[in-house]
Structure 1
Amino acid sequence: MRILYAISRYIDKSLYRKILLSYLIIIALIVFVLLFDFYFRTANDLRAQAVDSHLRLTQQSASTLNANMTNVKSFAWNYFGDFDFHQFVRGMGTDPEGQSSYRGKISNFVYNHPIVSNVVISQLDGFSMRVGGLVSTLIAPSEMQRLTDVAIGANGKGLWLPTDMYNPSASGQQVGYTLSYVQAIRQITLTSPGPIIGVMHFTLSSESLEQWLAESEGSREGRTYLVDKEHGTIVYSRHAAERGKRILTAEELLMVGSQSKGHYYRSSLGENQLIAYDSLGHTGWLVVTEVPTRVLTESADNFTKRTIWIGVFTLLFSMLLAGFISSRTITPLKLLSKGMKAIEKGNYSVVLPVRTEDEIGYLSKSFNRMTREINRLISKVYESEIVKKNAEIKSLQSQINPHFLYNTLGIIDSISSLHGDERVSLISRSLAKMFRYNISGNDVSKLDAEFQQIRLYLSIQKIRFDSRLDYTIYLEPGLERVPIPKLLFQPLVENSVNHGISHSIDGGIVRIEAISLGQDELQVKIWNNGLVIDEERQQWLRELLQLEDAPAGLEQQQASIGLHNVQSRIRMLYGPECGITFSSDEQYGTTFSITIKTYLPDQEA
């Protein structure tokens, strides 16, 4: 407590320390609040975008593979019911013309579907026709026989199966595996399904599947699997050794079994993971992707670090700037304080240097005039006259320049121009013009002056929002001199910026136009394409605009009470036939239309 008291006493003894401390507290608070709000908004958006992007990638990958598998199944099914194709299969070895025809058709299919590397049409006695690349040479006869047996056992139903690949030049060493579609060919009869006469075997390209997996996984730490939906075991992945491994627990199987696609989070080996899944048609398989959440949030984490460093450097720079500004402000005041102390000691000949043309310079000039006047009075009049003049001096000291605010804004304008920041200069000039307009004596203005006031306001907001805000203002020729109450449209323009544009991630446009509706009426439309008003609040606002008196509790909602006040002013001045209407939807944006007369029925209002 003693230390805090000592610090407080130390600061209280100097105006410079008080101003510097005030600057530091204000700057630190502003920087902290802005960075805190900006960080949480942006970081959460980055995390959500990363998750959404991963989910979309999983769905797109599943759709791509599902489309290719469906094409293969449809092609096989077309021949499954083709009588001529059955006749060809039965006499495959004795029908060179049919073999040439079907080889051409299947070759065209393989050419148009690069994911299919090889198609084999075989009879049960072993005679077969192969179309495509040489991938089939890497499938051992025993593996081909296993696939044939499975197809025959399915009794005509097409099946997708994982298939081992072997290298014949390395003594049958397994080199990987791929996916195959097999379907038995049954002879067509008029009475009942005929006997099985052959098997169709479609082999997918392992290179195409590898490329599909790489595109699905996205990041270097993501993994994609084809998983059996019933048992939760891996059907296909990058590594053949993983086939048959169970990666989904019983609880996870229950969850994924209730819906065709979705996502959830789980912890594995002490690390949180995002699991996304999507069904593959009627195969009974799922496309499952897993990726560590730290990979998804890496950009948000990097953004957090940058935000912290920017905040630290901004605070340090602001502290230095605050010290510099405080010093520039306090130094003339210190000289003035020394001059006052000199006068207290009877030295009326002190002269202060005048280095600026601002309020402090004005005080210095006034001080010098005061000392000269005192010297003149001392040498001219008696002590009674001196007392009288001292009263006049005190009166001079208490005078306040009525243009203090304008001069202060002029100082800000000059300093910003000297330091090359034209935005601050523009804001200062705009604020000065707006303040001068607001405090001018008359409560009634012209429409062109009101629009100029709105243009100044939007120019300041343009500096704040930069590229997120654009605006246009149109005033129909002939309406410039229409009399209107001051600041009638300002609340609605502010609502468009604060509730429409500022809440939209992409920003938007504010458009203001005034058009004539006839000889006695005009309409002002204030439109923006920012965040729309939800249906429930639209209904509430329409009911509010019909009320004569504001309901209880409305004071807490600045936007709503401003809208109600504008409606009340219009009806009070122009009558119930004039007022505000609005519309808001995603397609056309939000428009507030204000209908008024081209004259004021009662100028005194």
Structure 2
Amino acid sequence: MVKWEQPCQAGSEPFMPFRMRIFNKIVILVFVLLIPVMILYGYSNHTSVQVIQNEIEDSNMRQLNFFLSQVENSAKQLALHSVTLINESGIREMPQLDQNGSFVSVLKAKKLIEEKLSLYSTSSAWQNNISVFSPVSNTSLSTYPVIDYKMPQLQENMITRWTFQKKDSSAKDDRFSWYTVDPPSARSDLAAANLIVETSYSTENLKNMLDELMSTRKGNPFFYKEGYEPIVNRKGNPEHVAELIRYFASHSPGGAGGHMQVAIAGKPYLVSSVLSKELGWTLVDFVPLDEVLSPMYKSGYLFYTVISILFILGTAISFVIYRNVQMPIRELINNVQKLKRGDYSARLSKLPKNEFHFLFTRFNEMAAEIQDLIEKVYAEKLRSREATLKQLQSQINPHFFYNCLFFIVSMSRLGENKAVEAMATNLGDYYRYTTRVENQASTLREELGLVRNYLTIQQLRQQIHYTIAIPEEMLDLPIPRLLLQPLVENAIIHGLEPLDEDGMIAIEGEPSGNGFRITVEDSGVGLAEGRLQELRGKICEPLTEEMGCGLWNVHQRVVHMFGEGSGLELRHSALGGMKAVISVPLNSP
């Protein structure tokens, strides 16, 4: 098989430069399809959660307001009892009760007042107590289950408002109390009051209502006021309430009503609060958002599960397309690139069992036909080049030959027999080697013998110095005939002859990491960089009538004999002139 080389090509075109492959487009398309869906769903889910959370907040607020209105209505009803009682005729006679009657009549009057207090107390659904105190007569009557009830110490800010009181000897539960004074002007001086009516209800009433509220909804309601123990329900989690109260130490709940999200026990809760103007306490309720929004979370988990499955399926489809489409296309392109680089032995070995089978088969047939044609053309070119080389070898330079003959005639006239003998011997050896056209192969040892003959002839005619340093292991390397002589001749004619002084030619050989190199350099006039670049380009171009054939012939024969990586390279020499380097790789034929 023949591998057609393009030795002077600066560089092959990279594989599909700056072009997006089909597989990349498919993968990007999968992401382009999935990412907007995820973004839209994420936005929709966020909006839905926000709407549901707003609805939960509104619903919580409505329920809390309704519940608080029930509490306040019951409290107002009890407060109204105290106002009504203070205006009762029998109760208004309490300041003069001990002055206007006998002991029996006084007991009967007190009994009637106590019955009236009990009647008012039982008229409310709440557990409550009503007491009447007269500072004038220092008389107290109460529904409290105590023998001798004592009115607590009062202050002006406790009149006509609900105040919280801790349990004591007269009441076994914490309570809210309302005080009404007659006359109203005596609220600043309670000792001058005729009557003081106390209406109180136990916080157990609030706890019962909180329990009832909690049984109808998901939450944990309680009453809160800074500096007091909260009034909590009996069914909720007291630890969660305690943690929320600790949070309120730095974040007070909303006054007129508000919402906040608080992490309790590591979970998010929606906290709603409403301030009771009647009681002065805040009704607080907190609902676990995870339980309320769990349907939305389940829907989100389902969506992302589906998206993950679609992504996996998309990746699997992309892989199938990559294996069945992209890989055959890439293999086809790689082999087309090989054909472009001149490797016409490229074949597609793995034939896929799909539509690419037809393309691969036709490509192999086309490559085989092209290789056959190229081999025929290449063989014709080789025969043509051999014929050209033989013609070049047979065309002896007449000026060189005439100059040598004139040198022999001149030296014989002068009686320089040794010079004549040396010139005749070297000239004979030189032409004996150059005129052997039956075999185009030689060795480096034989080629160096020709070069020595040629340099000896030139030394007889002009002052030339030369050195040859070739390692012994390189002397038997096979090379084309007349490979070094054209380089030496070029160095003498174009480099040394224009000099006014002695010239120097150095021939060296050295093994390299991937083959070996032979260099021929001179101390001549050399070439400018632009002219050297032009000469480098010409030896890689097809031969024309205007172009000298010496360097071009050397370069082309080296490339076609030793293959890719071999050839002639022209450089500037450290001696002052030019340096010609022949490189041959180790894997050359």
**TM range, normalised to the smaller chain?**
0.3 to 0.5
TM-score w.r.t. length of structure 1: 0.38
Q: Higher relative contact order at CA 8 Å, sep ≥6: structure 1 or structure 2?
A: 2
TM-score w.r.t. length of structure 2: 0.38
Greater Cα radius of gyration, structure 1 or 2: 2
